[in-house]
Amino acid sequence: MITKRDRVVIIGAGVTGTAAAKVLLEYTNVSQVILIEKRSGVAQVNSHPLNNAQTSHDGSTETNYDLGHALRIKPSATALRRYAVSKGDPKLFQKTLRMCLAVGPKEVLLLEKRYREFKPHYPDLHLAYREELARIEPKVVEGRDRSEIISALVSTEGFIINYQELAKHFLADAERDPRFKAVFNSSVKKIVRRDDLYLIQTDSFTISADVVLFASGPYSLLFAQQLGYGTDYAILPVAGSFYSSGEFLRNKVYRVQIEGMPFAAIHGDPDILDMRDTRFGPTTKPLPLMERHQYGTSKDFLRLPLLSTLRGLGSLLKIIWSKQLLTYVIKNILFDLPVIGPALFLREVRPIVPTIRYRDLKLRRGAGGIRPQIVNLKTQELEMGDATLVGENAIFNTTPSPGASVCLGNAHRDAKKIVGFLGPDYYFDEDKFQRELGELPKSA
Ligand SMILES: Cc1cc2nc3c(=O)[nH]c(=O)nc-3n(C[C@H](O)[C@H](O)[C@H](O)COP(=O)(O)OP(=O)(O)OC[C@H]3O[C@@H](n4cnc5c(N)ncnc54)[C@H](O)[C@@H]3O)c2cc1C
């Protein structure tokens, strides 16, 4: 009798892990997929709607992405949006405009150049000037000095996504398949490689896996390092807080990226949990934690080589020095303080909504996640975008922003990698994936 050796274990049930489960079950012939999550339900960490900016990024209006980078994430955004639309669930997504606002002639010129370069690849883009902006997003124009020149690069494909609802849909899809099992309230503590198997120890059981996929945020790197992978990497955890302001914006309004800054500038948008509340953020504050507001996770952070090794500390100092991040970080730390925080933050928000007042801004306490930014200890540089390590029959995803936007793209990539690990008897049904979640033909 031939025993099948194809048990895939996924660790972490945020959008990344649940998307991987769904894609493995729907587009491959693996015979067992097990999802292990330490919390009681899906998407309670960075994928929770209170903790991230709820944007489906596709690269077009994100001025921190050049065209090459933008086009690399576009297919992932397409897959996500097609999936969301197919569910027709208003709790899952709301469609608005998404725009990048330019203030002053230098920024206006920059967006005009970007528009010419990006328009052939993103037909949903147009440039809007003061008159149109007054119509589509009045608060951006109200009270603004008439002599101040403004414009916006506008995408009509502005999706606000509740990534926790998305994870619930992925889980429900997976649960329809008898090859799947999800185990909650079980925290993975240790992983070892024995013969051809991985032995995964949780706080309540031990399980073997032929292939393991870590979708556990910064913990993915910690487990990779337990297995000897990714030892040249560390994590700089960058917390992001949000302010509530009441009803101001109808759409997602981003700003032109601050030149040379590795983190996106703050933006404003309606909250999918209450579309009449405009959120502004996220701020950018390094914190020595793996998960926000979970202070016990600091000891796990110290097991990673950023603060606990000389080359980690050297890399951190070099990053802060070379990117001139010190004042920026101090300012962002102050944003979270009472009284002075909203006063300083107001200055960041006014270029978007000139009439906003101090009393409109309320810091959302207990909300906001942590972006696990990857530090390359060899180059002593920050590596932006999502990060994946591949080992022997193992994949480790650490997913800083825009990790949620690319969850289906990552699942597509990882499922193909997994059938590759398993050998010639296994397939990934690419035609079916493209039919269901790929770019629509031009005529459609
Ligand atoms: C402030 C902020 C704003 C952002 N805005 C956006 C945005 O607008 N658009 C976008 O695309 N992305 C955004 N992101 C990034 C996005 O939120 C993440 O990339 C995404 O949610 C990551 O999903 P994930 O499933 O990989 O991780 P998570 O959602 O964090 O899930 C990881 C899961 O692993 C579990 N886990 C961890 N360790 C273990 C263990 N040992 N055993 C078992 N389970 C474990 C955790 O409990 C958790 O459920 C933002 C992030 C932040 C912090």
Q: How far is the CA of 288 from the centre of ligand 1 (A)?
A: 16
Any domain includes 124:
yes
Quick check: helix, strand or coil at residue 258?
coil
- Regarding whether 129 and 198 lie in a shared domain, the answer is no
Q: How far is the CA of 402 from the centre of ligand 1 (A)?
A: 10
Number of domains in the chain: 3
Q: What pLDDT tens digit does each residue of the chain (444 aa) get?
A: 445 789 999 999 999 999 999 999 999 999 999 999 999 999 999 999 999 999 999 999 999 899 999 999 999 999 999 999 999 999 999 999 999 999 999 999 999 999 999 999 999 999 999 999 999 999 999 999 999 999 999 999 999 999 999 999 999 999 999 999 999 999 999 999 999 999 999 999 999 999 999 999 999 999 999 999 999 999 999 999 999 999 999 999 999 988 777 788 899 999 999 999 999 999 999 999 999 999 999 999 999 999 999 999 999 999 988 877 888 889 999 999 999 999 999 999 999 999 999 999 999 999 999 999 999 999 999 987 767 999 999 999 999 889 999 999 999 999 999 999 999 999 999 999 999 999 876 654
Identity of the amino acid at 206? T
- Regarding whether 428 and 343 lie in a shared domain, the answer is no
Cβ atoms 51, 45 nearer than 8 A: yes
Cβ atoms 219, 225 nearer than 8 A: no
Residue 45's CATH number: 3.50.50.60
Identify the bridge partners of residue 201 per DSSP, sorted by sequence position.
190, 206
Ligand 1 atom nearest to 406, measured from its CA: 11
Identity of the amino acid at 258? I
Quick check: helix, strand or coil at residue 77?
helix
Cβ neighbours for 220, distance < 8 A, ≥ 6 positions apart: 11, 12, 214, 389, 396, 397, 398, 399
Cβ atoms 297, 81 nearer than 8 A: no
Ligand 1, atom 51: closest residue by C-alpha: 52
pLDDT of residue 305: 95
By CB atoms closer than 10 A (0-12, 13-18, 19+), residue 71 is middle
pLDDT of residue 443: 53
Global pTM value: 0.96
- Regarding whether 152 and 32 lie in a shared domain, the answer is no
- Regarding whether 140 and 180 lie in a shared domain, the answer is no
Any domain includes 77:
no
* Cα distance between residue 162 and residue 218, in whole Å: 21
Pick the last residue of a domain from 161, 184, 217: 161
Is the sign of the CA dihedral 84, 88, 90, 94 positive or negative? Answer: positive
Residue 155 host element (H or E): strand 150-161
* Cα distance between residue 416 and residue 89, in whole Å: 29
Give me the domain span that covers residue 307: 234-247+266-377
Pick the last residue of a domain from 325, 348, 377: 377
Pick the last residue of a domain from 161, 194, 212: 161
The verdict on the CB of residue 402 being under 6 Å from ligand 1 is yes
The verdict on the CB of residue 76 being under 6 Å from ligand 1 is no
pLDDT of residue 244: 98
The verdict on the CB of residue 43 being under 6 Å from ligand 1 is yes
* Cα distance between residue 388 and residue 230, in whole Å: 10
Cβ neighbours for 152, distance < 8 A, ≥ 6 positions apart: 99, 100, 101, 102, 111, 127, 128, 133, 137, 140, 253
Ligand 1, atom 14: closest residue by C-alpha: 401
Closest-CA residue to 419 (of 409, 407, 404, 430): 430
- Regarding whether 357 and 285 lie in a shared domain, the answer is yes
Any domain includes 254:
no
Structure-token pair, residue 408: 């289906």
Identity of the amino acid at 442? K
- Regarding whether 311 and 300 lie in a shared domain, the answer is yes
The verdict on the CB of residue 78 being under 6 Å from ligand 1 is no
Order of strands across the sheet with 370-376?
A: 285-286, 233-239, 370-376, 381-383
| N-terminal to C-terminal alpha carbon distance within the chain | 49
- Regarding whether 326 and 288 lie in a shared domain, the answer is yes
Ligand 1 atom nearest to 404, measured from its CA: 11
- Regarding whether 182 and 37 lie in a shared domain, the answer is yes
Quick check: helix, strand or coil at residue 268?
strand
Cβ atoms 311, 305 nearer than 8 A: yes
Any domain includes 97:
yes
- Regarding whether 360 and 304 lie in a shared domain, the answer is yes
Residues of 327-349 as b/e, b for ≥16 C-beta within 10 angstroms? ebbebbbebbeeeebbeebbebb
The verdict on the CB of residue 159 being under 6 Å from ligand 1 is no
Which residue in this structure is represented by tokens 């802060």?
320
* Cα distance between residue 46 and residue 371, in whole Å: 8
Phi first, then psi, for residue 226 (nearest 5°) are: -60, -30
Cβ atoms 24, 33 nearer than 8 A: yes
Identify the bridge partners of residue 95 per DSSP, sorted by sequence position.
159
